[in-house]
Structure 1
Amino acid sequence: MQKHPPAADPAPPVPARAALLARLRGGPGGPGTSTLRIRPALPPPLPAPAADPAPAPAAVPAPAAPGRSRGNPAVPELYCPPPQRDDPALAEAVEDRLVAWAEETGIYAGRLDEVRALSLGRYTMLTYAHVEDPDRLLAPAKCTLAQWATDDYYCDDESAGAVPLQIATHLSQALAAIDPAHLPARYAPLLEQAMRADPVLVALRSGTEHLSRYATRSQLTRYRQEMAALFCGYTAEAGWRVSGRTPPVWEFLAVRQDNSFLPTMVMLDPAGGYELPVEAYADPRVRGAVLKAASASVIVNDLYSMHREDESAAVNYNLPALIEAEEGCSRAEAVRRSAELHDELVHAFEEESALLAAAGFPPLIRFLADVWAWLGGNLEWHRTTARYHPAGRAPARDGSPEHGSTQGPEHGPTHGGTPA
């Protein structure tokens, strides 16, 4: 891949999922690496799942070319794997079911065309490349749309009812929709009444219930914990807006680790029909690698959404703008430095994943490979969606501009600072 600024010699291509999977199975190699073949204290392998078993490395198709970020001329080329697949029919099947569900819950009432314009069905198809069943894909799609609705209704869009001084209260109620609160009998009916009256709470609870069809109890607990962290990130960004404070870059990056795509990424194994045990996910080395991937993915969002946010009347925070303000550089230089941070994180995830795979623990190997493929799908969606490309010019899937495409609504769902 090309570096920033362009190097004289081309860098090696980004490995596809199949190549990474092979590397993860083998661990690091070469002179001086024998001491790196550590054995993480991970649990013994789980019984092979009956549904949707992990494919053998040879069965995983490898895209021919590395992923490119040429869709938006303002975004440099990023180090990231290519998308694992592109199945428009599957994306449309998920999209149709998701829009129908949104109508049932009541979120974005009268704005379902904007929900469809998000192309969340395509996003889910691209990022969960190991899942073929539309209903399994629909579970993370519902949960993701409910997350974005939470940000819109409670944090960003005052026309939809967002009240800055009530954000923490609303998010606490949102958490109760995901992780049910157990009140004394006298007050439980009042809580239930509130849960049924708010479309966002209906969507959060319904999405979690759909996920529970495929997730174990420990996987649901993991999802709830990452959602709680996401809500902490929402609250921190709301504090900046209310106070008018511009955070330093280090603080912004720390908060964005919470306000990232991690709640979406942790649904990879339940959607795929296997489980990464809690002992493995909680291992500091595993969690560190996954958090780096999550942070890299949200930098992609910052890079592709910056023009949209610059044109918005709302106060938004993105990495290039903060680097520009803190370091006194041009926006183009701030974008380049943001891209370098993204690449650093992706390289770190790749290297740390190879070390972790040396333990030979199949669920961990599969999860890390699925995160790698998720990164490629996330970039491809940002690169190709009309949502993030000025003048209504969405790129074609080969990276060239596609004339005649239409841009999504200026202020549709999730138009604020949250991912996507």
Structure 2
Amino acid sequence: MPAPEPTPPQSSLPEAASRFGAHVLADAAARACDVAAATGGPPRVPSLPGPPGAPGAPETAAPTAAALTAAVPTVTVPAAASPDTAPAGGLALAEAPLPAVLPALPTVLPAVDLARILRGPSGIGTAALRLAPQEEPPARSGAAEAAEGRPIPGLYHHPVPEPDPVRVEEIGRRIKSWALDEVELYPDDWEDQFDGFSVGRYMVGCHPDAPSIDHLMVAARLMVAENAVDDYYCEDHGGSPVGLGERLLLAHTALDPLHTTKEYEPPWARSLHSDAPRRAYRSAMEYFVQLSSASQADRFRHDMARLHLGYLAEAAWAQEDRVPEVWEYLAMRQFNNFRPCPTITDTVGGYELPADLHAQPAMQRVIAFAGNASTIVNDLYSYTKELAAPGKHLNLPVVLAEREDLSERDAYLKAVEVHNDLMHAFEAEAAALAADCPVPSVQRFLRGVAVWVDGNHHWHQTNTFRYSLPDFW
């Protein structure tokens, strides 16, 4: 009797889309949460050093996509609106009535943000990710371009509108208060560097669909905490590859708490206050779990473990004084990259991409391309800054120059090509997934990641306090 032929491999996406699409659409009202209750005020950070997610800490599931993404809201914002106060009747759906839970949203999208969401990505093959055809923002004048930085010539990107200035200012005020007063993250003489980072412009530009300032602050705290770990542990502000694994592991327990005996839990809990990165991680995670579901929180912990693994690979090369092969460097950059930021786009947007849909190989591929392209943007814009810093900093142009025997200029220009290839792959994969899996939460998540990618480029381009371009053109 002949052996049976193996079953041809089949994609699980259609089945997953059908199963979870029906679930999301049928149970949207039941699973939607009261957003006002979730964002009524900042959480209290206990004085005792307890672990994040400790028993009794509130953990609120975010509303599902069908409640928030059946259509994009149209917005009416009074000129004097406070960043934390929504005008009565300020939200309305274009094609369907809002669920009763949504009028209580504490903050609404400014009109400029609505235009950005409607525009979506605009590259080849991205029509499925756009809600409506929109014109690109008008070209800037030469003076404005000089003041705000210019994009890298030849870099594939999408221009975006300026982030809402009211939200930018409010996020900037709150995140500075959190960093300096609440977690004592930086010494006073770093204040100019903190201001120059422009956290408000970064977060508002990357998350224009966030329903409230509190949602944006979740992203802002995590971003600042991640940068503090990089600064203190890895880079020039006291960082070193020696002993990095121990520091990262202990800091990671501020995100993924230690479960141990009663005898050894108190010294661990006290350790969460022992340095600035752990204080920041612990506090940022406490705020995050109050707006995220358990699944979203676990997804973020996983992504942060990926990030820390990438830090360790780069540290190993520094200790060995070795420049990796180009493919090895790109493998490291898939871990040491921005991935934790765009993958919380649903939490920041006030909805949830179900875990099984997030875990689909096609979705993971889209997220990987988005993170990889966004991280090469950082390599390119920070190139001159890193060359001027002490020591040898690895970035894609440096690795290309070393491993492929290219001039600095040719290596930089080839790195631009690598970025462009990654961006085209991201947009093609995202468009294909959007067509294959027409679930509202999937559609909104893909748009959110695309908007994050665009916002990340915009922040790098316009942050002339931190970045300047090499003279290669």
Shift of 1:81: 2.7
2:226 is aligned, of 147, 152, 158, to 147
Contact 1:67–1:83 (Cα < 8 Å) also in 2: no
Residue 204 to residue 119, structure 1, CA distance change in 2 (3 Å): same
Residue 371 to residue 67, structure 1, CA distance change in 2 (3 Å): farther
Q: Does 1:54 align with 2:69?
A: yes
Distance, in Å, in 2 between the alignment partners of 1:339 and 1:276 is: 32
Post-superposition Cα deviations, 1:336-380, rounded to whole Å, max 9, x if no partner, equal 221121121221121211221222111011000111111111111
Match in the other structure for 1:195:
272
**Once structures 1 and 2 are overlaid, which stretch shifts more, 137-146 or 148-157?**
148-157
Match in the other structure for 1:376:
454
Match in the other structure for 1:311:
388
Distance, in Å, in 2 between the alignment partners of 1:307 and 1:87 is: 29
Contact 2:205–2:456 (Cα < 8 Å) also in 1: yes
Distance, in Å, in 2 between the alignment partners of 1:57 and 1:187 is: 50
Shift of 1:296: 0.2
Residue 236 to residue 363, structure 1, CA distance change in 2 (3 Å): same
Unaligned runs of 5+ in 1: 1-35, 392-420
Distance, in Å, in 2 between the alignment partners of 1:133 and 1:180 is: 28
Share of identical aligned residues, percent? 34
Distance, in Å, in 1 between the alignment partners of 2:415 and 2:138 is: 18
Match in the other structure for 2:93:
none
Shift of 1:329: 1.8
Decide which structure has the larger Cα Rg and report it: 2
Match in the other structure for 1:168:
245
SS in 2 for 1:315: coil
1:339 is aligned, of 416, 428, 433, to 416
**Once structures 1 and 2 are overlaid, which stretch shifts more, 66-75 or 243-252?**
66-75
Letter of the structure 1 residue corresponding to residue 392 of structure 2: V
**Map of 1:257-276 to 2, 5 A cutoff?**
257-276=334-353
Residue 267 to residue 73, structure 1, CA distance change in 2 (3 Å): closer
Match in the other structure for 1:97:
174
Match in the other structure for 1:296:
373
Contact 2:196–2:466 (Cα < 8 Å) also in 1: no
Match in the other structure for 1:362:
440
Q: Which TM-score applies when normalising by structure 1?
A: 0.79
Greater RCO (Cα-Cα under 8 Å, separation 6 or more): 1
Shift of 1:112: 2.5
2:16 is aligned, of 41, 52, 57, to 41
SS in 1 for 2:391: coil
Letter of the structure 1 residue corresponding to residue 199 of structure 2: L
**Map of 1:81-92 to 2, 5 A cutoff?**
81-83=158-160, 85-92=162-169
Match in the other structure for 1:115:
194
Distance, in Å, in 2 between the alignment partners of 1:368 and 1:87 is: 22
Residue 389 to residue 194, structure 1, CA distance change in 2 (3 Å): closer
Letter of the structure 1 residue corresponding to residue 303 of structure 2: E
Shift of 1:149: 0.6
Q: RMSD of the TM alignment (CA)? A: 2.5
Letter of the structure 2 residue corresponding to residue 378 of structure 1: N
Shift of 1:82: 2.8
1:156 is aligned, of 235, 251, 254, to 235
Shift of 1:41: 2.6
Shift of 1:75: 2.5
SS in 2 for 1:77: coil
Q: Does 1:208 align with 2:279?
A: no
2:356 is aligned, of 279, 283, 303, to 279
**Once structures 1 and 2 are overlaid, which stretch shifts more, 50-59 or 378-387?**
50-59
Unaligned runs of 5+ in 2: 1-10, 36-66, 75-113, 120-133, 140-144
**Map of 1:122-137 to 2, 5 A cutoff?**
122-137=201-216
Letter of the structure 2 residue corresponding to residue 44 of structure 1: F
Shift of 1:156: 1.5
Letter of the structure 1 residue corresponding to residue 462 of structure 2: T
Match in the other structure for 1:65:
136
Residue 187 to residue 57, structure 1, CA distance change in 2 (3 Å): closer
Q: Does 1:385 align with 2:361?
A: no
Letter of the structure 2 residue corresponding to residue 381 of structure 1: W
User: How many residues get paired?
Assistant: 355
Contact 1:81–1:372 (Cα < 8 Å) also in 2: no
Contact 1:67–1:380 (Cα < 8 Å) also in 2: no
Shift of 1:64: 3.2
Shift of 1:57: 5.4
SS in 1 for 2:254: helix
